[in-house]
Every structure is written in structure tokens, then in C-alpha cells.
Amino acid sequence: MAADPRSLPLTPDDLAAFIERRGVRAEILHLPVETPTVEDAARAVGTHPDRIVKSLLFLVDRSPTLVIACGASPVSRRRMAAHFHMSPKRIKLADPEATLSASGYPVGALPPFGHRQPLPTLIDLRVLAQDEVFAGGGSIRSLLRIGAQELARVTQATALDLVEESAADGS
């Protein structure tokens, strides 16, 4: 008996199909090396780590919300909580199973769009300050190259200051 296709992880080909269908101005880079860290990804494409963005899935009162932030910067749950007018305790980083279930992509390869279901998205202001960024491309050996303004357009993200300034920030 064949597996239900909805239970299989999405791939860079699925992301490419989304890009094609939606007319997104972006490119998927297929790399000869794995990019498990921000530094590895920056090295693989010859750019500064600030231009590598991460897509993280948070559960806000158990409801999935995607956050896009510069890779090396920690995301502040306190700042997210202020936006949602709730306690930071009600915001949790999704575990790998919840991320795969909500998005279709595994942790470490999660692109900022093209998920199984539309996800409400927040984008850090520092991402928007970049001309071009590199994000998860659907696999550990793929990155998505996209203009920051195009990324904001496609995701319809809410732009916020999401990065904690210090460990005392409460994240």
C-alpha cells in the first residue's frame, strides 16, 4: 500500500513548483555541501552570516506561526508575546514533529513559504534591511536566494523587531 503523499516531507522540487506557480522572483541553489548552521550556509554561498535567514515555527497558544529572522540572531519570545498581547509562556518553539506536520518541511530545511498550509508569518526588521537573503531551500543541501522585499511580499509577513538585544530580554 502506498504512503499517503501528505505524510511525506516536501522537497526542493515542491518549493520550486510553488515558486513557479506563484511567479516568485527567487532561485533555489542546490549545493554540494550540507548547510546545518548559519556559518555553514554563509560559507557555502560566499556571503556574510547576516544574509542567511532562518525560518522558525513557533506555537502561539498551540497555533503555528512562522518567524523569519537573521540566522545568528536569537528570536525574542517576549517581543512576540507583546505583539500578540499575551504571556511569553504561551509561545513555544515547535518541536521537529510539529514543524514537519504544519509546514511539510523538516527543521533545518524549512523555507519561508510554500508550506502545506498557509502560516501566519512574522519577519524581523533586520531581514528587511538586507537587499538579498538566503533561506532554507527545502533540504539540508538547498538554499533559497531571494530579495528581502520579495520575501516580505510572498509571505505577507508582519514586520516587527523580533530579535533580543541581550540575554536579559527574556527569551
Task: Tell me, yes or no, whether 12 lies in a domain.
Answer: no
Q: What is the distance between the alpha carbons of residues 94 and 62, in angstroms, rounded to a whole number?
A: 9
Range of the domain at 116: 29-166
- The per-residue pLDDT for range 92-142, each reduced to its tens digit, is 999 999 999 999 999 999 999 999 999 999 999 999 999 999 999 999 999
Total of domains in the chain? 1
Rounded average pLDDT over 54-79: 95
- Show the beta-strand stretches assigned E in 62-156: 63-70, 91-93, 121-124, 132-136, 142-147
Task: Tell me, yes or no, whether 150 lies in a domain.
Answer: yes
Task: Tell me, yes or no, whether 3 lies in a domain.
Answer: no
Residue 140: burial class (beta carbons within 10 Å; 0-12, 13-18, 19+): middle
Task: Tell me, yes or no, whether 23 lies in a domain.
Answer: no
Separation of CA 51 from chain center: 13
CATH of the domain at 81: 3.90.960.10
Q: What's the DSSP call for residue 4?
A: P
pLDDT above 90 covers a percentage of the chain that reads 87
Q: What is the distance between the alpha carbons of residues 115 and 104, in angstroms, rounded to a whole number?
A: 6
